[in-house]
Structure 1
Amino acid sequence: MGEKDLLAERFEADRAHLRAVAYRMLGSLSEAEDAVQETWFKLCRSDVSGVENLSGWLTTVVGRVCLDMLRSRAARREDPLEYYVPDPVVSAAGENAGPEQEALRADSVGLALLVVLETLAPAERLAFVLHDMFAVSFDEIAPVVGRTPAAARQLASRARRRVRGAGPAPEPDVTRQRKAVDAFLAASRGGDFEGLLAVLDPDVVLRADGGTLRAAASKFVRGAEAVIGQALTFARFRHTARPVLVNGAAGVVSIAEGHAMALMAFTIVDDRIVEIDILADPERLERLGIGQ
């Protein structure tokens, strides 16, 4: 086996890990793949003969690639941040996934957490993701962000406070999640205001991302009564709700005339819905293969 073949074999062994790092950094499946590919190109152009821990080297390289992508993203993103819903990892509820879907599922992290990560500065996000999620030391993170190890530690600490301040940990039991989601859907269809009030947290947040083609569908709504108004309006449309898993949690794909109209992800705490994230961007829904 040639040197390049051996290098490719070692890289492939780390590909899933690198994709997981990039997905948490970028919140985009397509951009995560681009970052992993760029990491491969950098590996091919580098002399790593003296690198003792190639996996660690690749992790910091993909982190640097993602940091550059995050810094350039703000200039080209036109939609307001509060309307942006990160790319979800969607799988069929109650069915065995194929190898490719299992790989995507392994990349998944709670969509609510990804939304919070979107609010962080790029360097804060990198420090938090690499250290708190992948146990990379601050000595290794420091040169990536151009700071001292102590400053990198402060970046991660600030990010950690933002993440913790986003609310309590969601319900991990998918069966209990599904019960709350089903109650929400039934109450919405039945126009049951009291039923919706019972399943929604008083401070529930609804975030909808309609993309450029459905800009009118983009909105940020807070409070149970305001969310109920949106739910009852949406329920008037004749859509079929198909249960799915969104980043490992209970979710729903809304389908009309054979096309996915929206993907709804729910965050459940104490059997109440505290957050609803809706992706209604037709371009992204098609690109992600949702509803096919």
Structure 2
Amino acid sequence: MTDATPNAVSTPSPVSTPNRRIGHQIVGPGHPVYVVGEIGINHNGELENAFGLINAAAEAGCDAVKFQKRTPEICTPRDQWEIERDTPWGRMTYIDYRHRVEFGADEYRAITEYCQAKGIAWFASPWDAESVDFLEQFDVPAHKVASASLTDDELLRKLRATGKTIILSTGMSTPRQIRHAVEVLGSDNIVLLHATSTYPAKNRELNLRMIDTLRREFPNVPIGYSGHETGLQTTVAAVALGAVMVERHITLDRAMWGSDQAASVEPQGLQRLVRDIRAIEDSLGDGVKHIYAGELAAMKKLRRVRNESDQAETEALLVSA
């Protein structure tokens, strides 16, 4: 029988979780949380709005911004095409509105150049196979699957064929549907994001412990969080619970027109969010007990009972961080 020190704190067994690459950055445990500012269609079809949102994300320290890309005739049900609605540009049919807020190749070329100048990555959520081909011409570093598209096997297979890292949101989906989507995409090149698809989501609907549930269910897949709540604290809590990627919708002004604006983070809030995420990840440590150099003075002053045999163990645990 091997002797063991009863009170010893051992190094946790490493968990085999392959990392994923998005551009030049690594996403996964042990690496900085990858923060995505979800622009979606909060630009309202205006390139200057998109530039403003890219500025806000870059200044806050986000790693990437994300858009949404649709082929309107494919993604809009035919019986809704001619339904009229009021918009900031006047009354128009729904299909015309969908075209009005959709960027084309010229706009995405400008976005590519702008993001390069700002030192921030961009990618998008394609909602149909044609949009995947459209995005591939810009050599995006990753693709995102929106929660609404999780059950679209044709789209998932198209995305898998690109060989890019695929980020999969799991809102509005059952465990069986999530497992099936992972099977279709393959588990070796995906990141799963826990999400609740209400806009905005109430705190009691966030169920952040699902981050750990997904990690247990898919131990070889990095797990992150896509939030649609109005506050910041719960997203920071997701990082404390182990999320390696965070995505939040961003807006120039939550009072702007558009269905996603109210559940989005404004520029000042985004700066606070990224700041707090970095503070939390810095504080989590490695789970191994250390004695820090800064504790030695307190040890000398406050510890009444000292055992000389503990000295070697103290020195072994001492770090100067």
What TM-score, normalized to structure 1? 0.28
